[in-house]
Amino acid sequence: MKNTTLDKLDINDNAIILNLNCKGDLRRRLLDLGLVNGTNIKANFKSPMGNPIAYEVRGTTIALRKEDSSLISIKF
């Protein structure tokens, strides 16, 4: 398995969240969206400009900016 950050995940690939490398309001927001350790996540599609990227988490699609997704450690 390879460890990297969520912003590097290719479209239609799956990964497992390892860690959130942020604090404060952003960390709370990501946890509230279901981005907790051990959760499966899939990159669904990018916007035409490449930012934000839509991810599927726990049956829900969410959009994250690259600067936010780069703070999420994953393995795949």
Question: With the CA atoms of 20, 47, 45 and 41 taken in that order, what torsion angle do they form, in degrees rounded to the nearest 10?
Answer: 10
What one-letter code names the amino acid at 17? I
User: Residues of the chain with pLDDT > 70: what percent?
Assistant: 100
In sequence order, which residues have a C-beta less than 8 Å from that of residue 32 and are 6 or more positions away?
none
**pLDDT score at 76:** 86
**pLDDT score at 3:** 94
Closest CA to 63 of 6, 17, 14: 6
Question: Using an 8 Å Cβ cutoff, are 55 and 43 in contact?
Answer: yes
Structural domains in the chain plus CATH codes? 3-75 (2.30.30.90)
- Taking the model in full, what pTM does it have? 0.92
CA 52 to chain centre: 11
Residue 1 pLDDT greater than 80, yes or no: no
